[in-house]
Structure 1
Amino acid sequence: MLDMLIVGGGYVGLSVAVATKQAAPHLSIAVIEAAPDHVWEKDERASAIIAAASRMLDVMGLWDEIAPQSQPINRMIVTDSRTADPVRPVFLTFDGEVEEGHPFAHMVPNVAMVRALRRACGELGIEIRHGASATGFVAGSNAASLTLSTGEVLESRLVVACDGVRSKLRDMAGIRTVRWDYGQSGIVTTVEHERPHEGCAEEHFLPPGPFAILPMTGNRSSLVWTERTEDANRLVAADDLIFEEELQRRFGHKLGTLSVVGGRKAFPLGLTLSRAFVAPRLALAGDAAHGIHPISGQGLNLGFKDVAALAETVVEADRLGLDIGALTILERYQTWRRFDTFRMGVTTDVLNRLFSNDIGPLRIARDFGLGVVERLPKLKSYFIGEAAGTKAKDAPRLLAGQAI
């Protein structure tokens, strides 16, 4: 029987495994991943990692491997305009440091992050099983039984669902969600440009949704381009010439001529919040617990906060000789994470509704609000600290840069 069985071998699932095993080496931990091995090596995307998450990865001994491939975000600007406007006035700017020499975020290639996590799993003796998914879950008094698509049945004191926003394991446990669709999709791609970005990230609020330009190493940027779903599907299906022409209209000419250097995909956007984060012998983490709009770039970082809180909850319970899968223990994790997740979900929902439109009075009000924030340095400092995850008073130790 295992101590911890994690379903989902993405960034969150692997991080839960590594963080827990490092702090409690005697616990037996395994990861189940439905995708075939080596599929992760084809991921061309990059993710924004806030300062608190990079602290956690540093404590886990991974950041030195990841950092050379990452791009610090040194500055951020926010504009609000229409697509056809010849000038995009900047309403808000943020310096990118939470402390001297420490940027509030980095752009990290997904491949680099998964490679470091998988190496750590190998060194710690954490088994990763590929090509199997969960088809049955039964919680018992002392352990849970997980049936795999291969027919094998595994038993574990604790099962952690990290199997995405449409989590089958969450459904099997009877955990309900609150969910709605925004009618938007996010187009994700990578572009190369003539001139250097100098580590500056840009968020252009356009009527269909935000258009985010996130700096990567070299003269490259990662884009998260929000459009109405029907328009996004049309753009992804268009030929390269039309796609790049539409892209240049939104990107602007500040960095010169653009060329798409990665694949392009559209992902439907919505809000999904689990009504509970735990059930007997089960904990949800990452997108299985919450899926939010990418307008704030906090989706993966919410998952890393789950990792830090869950690992600390499990390890402390184990040190006290308690049952790590008992509902009373798991409810501590739920209490720690649910309010922060709900708050972020509501915040991104309100921001998306406020900025993804072309309603005159709303435009005047939001631009006035951005202007007020721009003129108040202490308020800007507070917002950047919140975004970086460095202001939370009850943050788990890993997010504060401390070992569990």
Structure 2
Amino acid sequence: MDNPADRRIVAAMKTDCDVIVVGGGLNGPTLALALARAGLTATVIDALPEATRGAEDFDGRAYSLALASQRLLAALGLWQRLAEDAQPILEVKASDGRAGEGPSPLFLHFDYGEIEEGPMGYMVEDRYLRRALLDAMAEARGITRLSGETVVAQEVGPSGATVTLASGKTVTGRLIAGCDGRASGTGQRAGISRTGWGYGQTALVCAIEHDKPHHGVAQQFFMPAGPLALLPLPGNRTAIVWSERDETAKAIQALDDDAYLEALRLRVGDCLGEIRLVGKRFTYPLNLTLANSFIASRIALVGDAAHGVHPIAGQGLNLGLRDVGALAEVVVNAHRRGEDIGAEDVLERYQRWRRFDSTVLALGMDAVNKLFSNDNPLLRGLRDLGMGAVNAMPGLRRRFIREAAGLSGEVPLLLRGRPL
């Protein structure tokens, strides 16, 4: 598929769309919008009904968006829908901790004032991000949404790709973008194997109201059983991502709300004053899973379908949006040059751009989790000294802040706030 004659044949073929996007969560719709804004067409296949996807009640879920991710959303015209309900992250504090003892006196402290670009990131509730994506897709030319549909088969050939849905419908395109999560059916059907392991940890996720203001500060406590993150939401509310050993998490989740809050208070102390649950409580098992290839014939994997990571630094969605920015840029540039957007050499550009970066970050988070999720006195002393040392070096601290904000490395145009 690499000679010009074949590419002219592809260009003349009739298909339903340029890109078939499998997955209607967050990465899939964002990719479809990025492509549509640049003049390509996309069909988004979402397993959930539209009413479920667009539910407006607060369920406790929220996302930490790095500054670069916010710039991508702004470049796609989404941020104006979200800004009013977003909470800027002005500071990040990270320290060791033990239940009932409070944080270690040696800690890391990042302040947004140490970089020129503005807040390091923003917290946005899941309901607002989903609604903004649905509304933008409904208004966009070039996007078709198929809700309540699942892909049961896919075929690729020298000139295009076809997916078959459970309803019997088929959709044809030049490229299939698998945005369908850690157990990606797109990847499985393409024969892409995965490497990974479980952590023996489960994340407890909820949101709380509290009496004291959070002042836009995100806090990370490294507890012996796993990290606990307090992520500021608008008003006196905070999102909690709390990692525990599997059996402990199961027991805590089974508690009633009052007992659950008591277990949480024991770990967070009184830094937020009195706390109350808002929204639902969730759990999900924690593991690392990396696709051994991000691409196959006429297929590209995006987000968790390519790399499911530990939530220790809240980077899962940000990694996915970097994939979105890179794949959209590669595909749009290829389209403008008259290339076949599903050709192997085109998709290899995407893989070269994203695979090394995301794998290194995933393994880095894996190492940090293993280093901090224990109560070994020697390791505890070494990591406390390490955090204290980094905190005392402004240049190194600034590098960490820029990395967390998504401003380091080869940043796609959209994540720099520039249109394709």
Q: TM-score range by the shorter chain?
A: over 0.9
1:21 aligns with 2:36: yes
Question: Aligned residue for 1:396?
Answer: 412
1:124 aligns with 2:140: yes
* CA gap 1:245/1:174 in 2 versus in 1, 3 angstroms: same
Q: Which runs of 4+ in 1 moved over 2 A?
A: 86-90, 96-101
Question: Aligned residue for 1:102?
Answer: 118
Question: Aligned residue for 2:383?
Answer: 366
* CA gap 1:294/1:87 in 2 versus in 1, 3 angstroms: closer
Distance in 2 separating the partners of 1:356 and 1:4: 41
Question: Aligned residue for 1:321?
Answer: 338
Question: Aligned residue for 1:52?
Answer: 68
Q: Aligned AA for 1:29?
A: A
Deviation at 1:104, TM superposition (A): 0.6
Distance in 2 separating the partners of 1:78 and 1:158: 42
Distance in 2 separating the partners of 1:101 and 1:31: 34
Distance in 2 separating the partners of 1:318 and 1:384: 35
Deviation at 1:84, TM superposition (A): 2.7
Distance in 2 separating the partners of 1:23 and 1:287: 24
CA contact (8 A) 1:98 1:388 kept: no
Question: Aligned residue for 1:268?
Answer: 285
CA contact (8 A) 2:196 2:287 kept: yes
Distance in 2 separating the partners of 1:184 and 1:248: 20
Deviations for 1:275-305, whole angstroms, at most 9, x for unmatched residues?
1001111110011001000001110000000
Deviation larger for 279-288 or 43-52: 43-52
CA contact (8 A) 2:21 2:177 kept: yes
CA contact (8 A) 2:225 2:243 kept: yes
CA contact (8 A) 1:281 1:327 kept: yes
1:233 aligns with 2:250: yes
Distance in 1 separating the partners of 2:418 and 2:91: 27
Question: Aligned residue for 2:311?
Answer: 294
CA contact (8 A) 2:60 2:205 kept: no
Trace 1:303-322 onto structure 2 (pairs within 5 A): 303-322=320-339
Match of 2:280, SS state, is: coil
CA contact (8 A) 2:102 2:267 kept: no
Distance in 2 separating the partners of 1:349 and 1:325: 33
Deviation larger for 112-121 or 197-206: 112-121
CA contact (8 A) 1:53 1:399 kept: yes
Deviation at 1:96, TM superposition (A): 2.6
Question: Aligned residue for 2:7?
Answer: none
Distance in 2 separating the partners of 1:59 and 1:86: 41
1:246 aligns with 2:263: yes
Q: Aligned AA for 1:66?
A: L
Give the TM-score taking structure 1 as reference length. 0.97
Count of matched residue positions in the alignment of Structure 1 and Structure 2? 401
Deviations for 1:126-169, whole angstroms, at most 9, x for unmatched residues?
12111111111111111111111111122111110001111111
Deviations for 1:164-198, whole angstroms, at most 9, x for unmatched residues?
11111110000011010001011110000011111
Q: Aligned AA for 1:78?
A: A
Trace 1:54-203 onto structure 2 (pairs within 5 A): 54-85=70-101, 88-97=104-113, 99-100=115-116, 102-125=118-141, 126-203=143-220
Deviation at 1:255, TM superposition (A): 1.5
CA contact (8 A) 2:100 2:269 kept: no
Distance in 2 separating the partners of 1:52 and 1:138: 35
Match of 1:102, SS state, is: coil
Q: Aligned AA for 1:110?
A: D
Deviation at 1:318, TM superposition (A): 0.3
Distance in 2 separating the partners of 1:106 and 1:385: 14
CA contact (8 A) 2:102 2:268 kept: no
* CA gap 1:216/1:86 in 2 versus in 1, 3 angstroms: closer
Match of 1:321, SS state, is: coil
Q: Aligned AA for 2:91?
A: R
Distance in 1 separating the partners of 2:98 and 2:77: 45
Question: Aligned residue for 1:382?
Answer: 399
Q: Which consecutive unaligned segments of at least 5 residues does structure 2 have?
A: 1-14
Deviation at 1:56, TM superposition (A): 0.9
CA contact (8 A) 2:161 2:298 kept: yes
Q: Aligned AA for 1:199?
A: G
Distance in 1 separating the partners of 2:117 and 2:387: 26
Q: 2:26 aligns with which of 1, 8, 11?
A: 11
CA contact (8 A) 1:191 1:258 kept: yes
Deviation at 1:81, TM superposition (A): 2.2
Q: Aligned AA for 2:405?
A: A
Q: Which consecutive unaligned segments of at least 5 residues does structure 1 have?
A: none
